[in-house]
Amino acid sequence: MSGIILPGADGMLFQRDRDWHPPADTPGYKSSTFRAPRHSLLALGPTRSEMTGPTFGHEKLGELDNDLIRNFSQDGNEAIGQRMIVYGQVLDENARPVPDTLVEYWQANAGGRYRHKKEGYLAALDPNFGGFGRSITDENGFYHFRTVKPGAYPWPNGGNDWRPAHIHFSVFGHAFAQRLITQMYFEGDPMIWQCPIVATIPDKAAIDQLIARLDRHNTTPMDALAYRFDIVLRGRRSTMFENKLEGN
Amino acid sequence: MKLHPVPVLKESPSQTAGPYVHIGMTPNFCGITGVIDADPGISMLTADAEGERIIITGRVIDGAGAPVNDAVLELWQADSKGSFVAPMAPNSKSVPAFTGWGRQPTQPDGTYRFETIKPGRVDGPDGKPMAPHVSLWIVARGINIGLQTRLYFADEAEANAADFVLNKIMDPRRRETLIARREEGPVPRYVLDIHLQGERETVFFDI
């Protein structure tokens, strides 16, 4: 409950590199057209309101929260699809682990079908797959979960656009200014390079950072493949304070 | 002289939350029940929370004037004393009386709604207290990187006029896009529409 860093030069975050992130208006991704602000963003620099953020130490996660193969099971059976472990480390830009932070993830099932009322794709729902999970990172910033590999799916953007297989991620960090949502893709998927949403990111090296690597060392033999996906949040400029930024 | 470190890693680039963001962020809202009891951030306070109960509400509207019916908003604010460190509820070992953090999906007409308390004042970078405000973060299909803004309170005109952040907005007319009007009722409501684009476009920050 202690350790709020007061704003000031020492506590500031590295400025967000908005040429590395996707811009707001990306015509190839049509939904952005009316949802992109036309005014430029007002450069604020984080104040105390953004240098603090929610913590989730009081949340007790369920035993199956990070097991998408079983956490929505209706009949005791497991989800259908290619079994996987997805794991990785949440780091900041100084390459320091980000411990005790909430990581949420969601995805389509093995056939590319989302469990959502607005989704009308003809691929079938899997009665034992919900597609949602969450973890809190350990003291070294690591998270992991079990799932099945999501399928690609078509979407109404161009005449024949398909999303690559992907998993959505939401990460908190320890400051509201670190809040991030992104998507994880799979090594070697040729569909990554034809996707208008991936292409909202201007730099190929930045896209590469969103591609999870097959990790045979952490594969469970005769059970599940492993993919590693590290996530980098904004770092603070200071190395002077070791206190963790905390909210409640 | 103290040297600041050079960042050695790049931040993971943002991607849109997509139209099915609710599966991951508000699973019960979209019918994925039984995995977790309640959607995170749906409730921000217990009966023990100190301060004036208020409702913060409004609509999210796109550049064509259409409601943004698939967004998720997160709210982060200080408690009634201007503190971000919330005490635990006296009757609970593990639940804070006030979390300061909320998360709500928009409804089919683009409406968002938070039941919270009016925040106290927090010191700004200039050492003077900022006007009471809440921070908002908006994600949705078509939004490539989360939009950050603030909501201020119309009945705090004097504090608003001296606020560090509001005064950074050069055009005073645009300051109005952040100030919620107050409506009286059993629980007072503060109402602010968020315009992603267009004539009444909300001020968004690079923080």
| Domain assignment present for A191 | yes
- Domains of chain B by start residue, with CATH: 38-195 (2.60.130.10)
Judging by DSSP bridges, how do beta strands B133-139 and B147-153 pair with one another? antiparallel
Contact at CB, A182 and B13, closer than 8 angstroms: yes
Please confirm, yes or no, whether A153 is among the known catalytic residues.
Answer: yes
CA torsion B201-B80-B183-B134 (nearest 10°) is: 10
Contact at CB, A43 and B206, closer than 8 angstroms: yes
CA distance A231 to B184: 45
Contact at CB, A248 and B96, closer than 8 angstroms: yes
Inform me whether the C-beta atom of residue B11 falls under 8 Å from chain A C-beta atoms: yes
**Chain B residue at shortest CA distance from A26:** B144
Q: Where are the beta strands (DSSP E) in chain A?
A: 42-43, 83-92, 102-106, 132-136, 142-148, 153-155, 161-163, 166-171, 180-186, 211-214, 225-228, 231-233
**Residue range(s) defining the domain that contains residue A227:** 55-233
Which CATH number characterizes residue A95's domain? 2.60.130.10
Please confirm, yes or no, whether A144 is among the known catalytic residues.
Answer: no
Find tokens 């830009």 and name the residue: A93
| Domain assignment present for A9 | no
Contact at CB, A181 and B17, closer than 8 angstroms: yes
B32-62 residue pLDDT tens: 999 999 999 999 999 999 999 999 999 999 9
Nearest to B24 among A104, A233, A238 (CB): A104
CA distance B130 to B162: 8
Rounded to 5 degrees, what angle do the CA atoms A132, A138, A141 make? 90
pLDDT of res. A215: 98
In this prediction, residues B56-78 reach a mean pLDDT of: 98
Judging by DSSP bridges, how do beta strands A42-43 and A83-92 pair with one another? unpaired
pLDDT tens, residue order, chain A (248 aa) = 334 444 344 468 889 999 999 999 999 999 999 999 999 999 988 899 999 999 886 567 999 999 999 999 999 999 999 999 999 999 999 999 999 999 999 999 999 999 999 998 999 999 999 999 999 999 999 999 999 999 999 999 999 999 999 999 999 999 999 999 999 999 999 999 999 999 999 999 999 999 999 999 999 999 999 999 999 999 988 644 444 444 43
Inform me whether the C-beta atom of residue B197 falls under 8 Å from chain A C-beta atoms: yes
In this prediction, residues B125-136 reach a mean pLDDT of: 95
Report the residue of B42, B46, B144, B149 to disrupt the A interface, i.e. the one with the largest count of A CBs within 10 Å: B144
SS3 B156: helix
Residue A181 backbone zone (phi > 0: left; psi -120 to 50: alpha; other: beta): beta
What is the tally of structural domains in chain A? 1
CA distance readout (Å), A184 to A115, A222, B16: 19, 25, 12
Minimal C-alpha gap between A231 and chain B (Å): 6
| Domain assignment present for A16 | no
